[in-house]
Amino acid sequence: MALLEVDRLRVEFPTRNGTLTAVDDVSFTVEEGEVLGLVGESGAGKSMTGAAIIGLIEPPGHIAGGEIRLDGGRIDALRGEALRKVRGKQIGAIFQDPLTSLNPLFTVGDQLVETIRTHLPLSVAEARRRAVDWLAEVGIPAPDKRIDQYPHQFSGGMRQRVVIALALCAEPRLIIADEPTTALDVSVQAQIIALLKKLCRERNAAVILVTHDMGVIAETADRVAVMYAGRLAEIGPVKQVLEKPNHPYTAGLMGSIPRIGPRPERLIQIAGSMPRLSDIPAGCAFNPRCTRVFADCHVHRPRLAASGDGAVACLHYEGARP
Amino acid sequence: MPLFILRRVLQAVMVMLTVAFIAFLMFRFLGDPVNSIVSQDATQVEREQVRERLGLDDPLLVQYGRFVVDAARGDFGMSYRNARPVSALLAERFPATAELVLVAALMSLAIGIPFGIYTALRPRGVLSQALQIVSLIGISLPTFVTGILLILCFSVWLGWLPSFGRGEVVDIGWWSTGFLTASGLKALILPSFMLCIFQLTLIMRLVRAEMLEVMRTDYIKFARARGLKARAINFRHALKNTLIPVVTIFGLQLGGLIAFAIITETVFQWPGMGALFIQAVNFTDVPVMAAYLVLVSLIFVVINTSVDLLYNVIDPRLRTERKPATNAGI
């Protein structure tokens, strides 16, 4: 059984002008110790999917359908204490901006000790020792001194390291990393990603890595899921999706990445932009921008169909027709 | 850090010197002080003698310097009306005002903060909305109206609480306290409540607004994602961040409480400094007015300086001896 199963997840936002569907019928699984990349443009629903898994969708948004199962047990309908025990202990989260993720009024040590003691039965002294170990683990020099410092005394990259320590310190089995490096300097990004990958490998923790950086995905992920307008376009092993993309959207994304190589070609650009959630076209959501569009694309909404080791939601593939 | 304190203290001293100058000017512009001292049929020669004895023919700056030095020693001269030292009058009246303001301030915090937290955590609850409406009334009704309504309700109709005075007081040294007798405590309830209503509602609304703001921040979201207990999130992480602006406003309002105490003391005939000041105004008792002005300013300045120093305790980002982050950029 997979560690995490997301089954036909649907997230809705009621607004004055009708209900918006931010995540629409998304299904995927994450195996123990696996890194799943979740990619897509801004607003494709990738962060929302991550937030749904850890129960942090901002009201009035809510899960309107589908199931999320951890070890076979449903976690999408959990409330209060039960949900709190999953957060941190089972599923950790890392957010985009390390500058705002830490409470400015508490020392780094306070925040670590508090998190450790919330989930593990340790004394303050033991938790503090473990907190120092964690700081050392995430590569913070002189951790026994730094532990008593406040977040503002750390640089951005250092703070993201602290955030990683905070997310991992209760030994969760799944980490949701929502664009963990977007706010950082390019020179620091690779280090943070490598650190995250190493720590999770050592502890056999699975990762859902939400990003729009294909380079990060290629480096880090085992499998990748591509989202478009709240729907899953394609999912499969990272090599297959990156090198032989099935979905026209994925193909367009890959074509738009500059490569260092012998033959400089003109980059392919996907015409148009992603539709707003309030006017997603009928049929396939990608049909206005697709180069391989045909009549059925405007009528039928494609389902995920098996293709190679993955699956693709495009009517050009057998089994995608509903 | 010491430099920061020194700078704040110097600023405070400058403010006090300015206030003292204004108080000093009152003596010159609210009539000729010699008129209030000599009898009406005094001759010009007698007037000049008095003038000379009091040093009123010295240059302005010399007189001001003398005023400041005397004031710093607590000597504000004699009250024109009571013919007693102003400092003795104020010392006599100070405990009443201090106790009234203290109780009002504590009440506004003890009620305002929990109500503010409650209305922020349950913004849609019936009780929250009721509190919001009541607080709007509290913040807009003039205090003398609420005071009179309180007297009408609790003293006239129900007869539970006294409508004026301090009740019985006990003297501890020069301090007369109403805290130690039942009648003293009963007499405190209505005036301190009247005095605190405005601050109470202000603090409640401020805590609510700040708390709502803080609950939307990333670090609260991250605290939730770490599975911290709701109590720890609400009362440790959120409340501490909420309290920074509350400390500012409370500091400012504490001065306001002393100022508003004039109205409360008038309505309840509370024998405090405010009532003394109103009397002094009625009789153009300049030394008392000047001393009151200086004293209230001093309290304001001391409170504001303390609040500034208190920030350093609450907010680590403001502690100036900031060590540079090592390994910057990594």
Residue B324 has pLDDT above 60, yes or no: no
What are the CA-CA distances from residue A108 to residues A147, A209, B95 (Å)?
Answer: 6, 24, 45
- Determine which of B121, B210, B219 to mutate to test the interface with A (most A C-beta atoms within 10 Å): B219
Structural element, H or E, at residue B175 = strand B175-177
Q: Give alpha helix (H) positions in B226-285.
A: 230-232, 239-267, 273-282
A239 within a domain of the structure (yes/no) = yes
Contact B326 A152 (CB under 8 A): no
Mean pLDDT of the residues in chain B: 83
- The pLDDT value recorded for residue B322 is 45
A141 within a domain of the structure (yes/no) = no
- Residue A183 CA, chain-centre distance (Å), reads 15
A156 within a domain of the structure (yes/no) = no
Nearest CA in chain A to B241: A105
Nearest CA in chain A to B327: A155
A194 within a domain of the structure (yes/no) = yes
SS3 state at A234: strand
A306 within a domain of the structure (yes/no) = yes
A102 within a domain of the structure (yes/no) = no
Contact partners, residue B125, CB within 8 Å, separation at least 6 = B119
Query: To the nearest whole percent, how much of chain B has pLDDT over 90?
Result: 13
Which tokens hold the place of B126?
A: 């019936």
- Going along B91-165, which residue ranges are E strands? none
**Tens digit of each residue's pLDDT (9 = 90 or more) over A164-191:** 999 999 999 999 999 988 888 888 888 8
Residue A126 has pLDDT above 90, yes or no: yes
For each of the domains in chain B, give its residue range(s) and CATH number, in order of start: 15-72 (no CATH), 86-318 (1.10.3720.10)
CA angle B248, B254, B257 (to 5 degrees): 140
Contact A103 B323 (CB under 8 A): no
**Contact yes or no for A94/A175 (Cβ under 8 A):** yes
- What CATH number does the domain containing A292 carry? 3.40.50.300
A178 within a domain of the structure (yes/no) = yes
A85 within a domain of the structure (yes/no) = yes
Mean pLDDT for B107-133 is 90
Structural element, H or E, at residue B171 = strand B170-172
Contact A105 B241 (CB under 8 A): yes
Among B16, B13, B15, B27, which Cα is nearest to B290's? B27
Beta pairing, strands A231-237 & A4-15 = unpaired
Distance between CA B198 and CA B204 in Å, rounded?
Answer: 10
Mean pLDDT of the residues in chain A: 89
pLDDT band at A262 (very low <50, low <70, confident <90, very high): low
Contact A155 B328 (CB under 8 A): yes
For residue B225, give the nearest of A87, A97, A157 by CB distance: A87
pLDDT band at A124 (very low <50, low <70, confident <90, very high): very high
Minimum mean pLDDT range among A25-29, B74-78, B105-109, B294-298:
B74-78
Residues 208-227 of B with CB under 8 A from A: 217-219, 221-227
Domain count within chain A? 1
**Tens digit of each residue's pLDDT (9 = 90 or more) over B171-226:** 877 787 777 787 788 888 888 888 888 888 889 999 999 999 999 899 999 999 99
Contact partners, residue A295, CB within 8 Å, separation at least 6 = none
**Contact yes or no for A35/A220 (Cβ under 8 A):** yes
* Number of Cβ within a 10 Å radius of residue A206: 22
**Host domain of residue A203:** 4-90+172-312
**Contact yes or no for A224/A238 (Cβ under 8 A):** yes
Cβ contacts from A onto B, under 8 A:
103
Contact with chain B for residue A126, Cβ under 8 A: no
**Total number of residues shown for chain B:** 330
Beta pairing, strands A174-178 & A91-94 = parallel
ipTM rounded to 2 decimals: 0.88
Handedness of CA A211, A216, A220, A224 (dihedral sign): positive
Residue B6 has pLDDT above 60, yes or no: yes
Distance between CA A54 and CA A45 in Å, rounded?
Answer: 15
What's at A25, amino acid-wise?
D
Contact B316 A104 (CB under 8 A): yes
Q: Which has more pLDDT, A13 or B143?
A: A13
- Residue A1 CA, chain-centre distance (Å), reads 21
For residue A87, give the nearest of B227, B241, B316 by CB distance: B227
Residues of B with CB below 8 A from A150's CB?
Answer: 316-317
Among B193, B138, B135, which Cα is nearest to B161's? B193
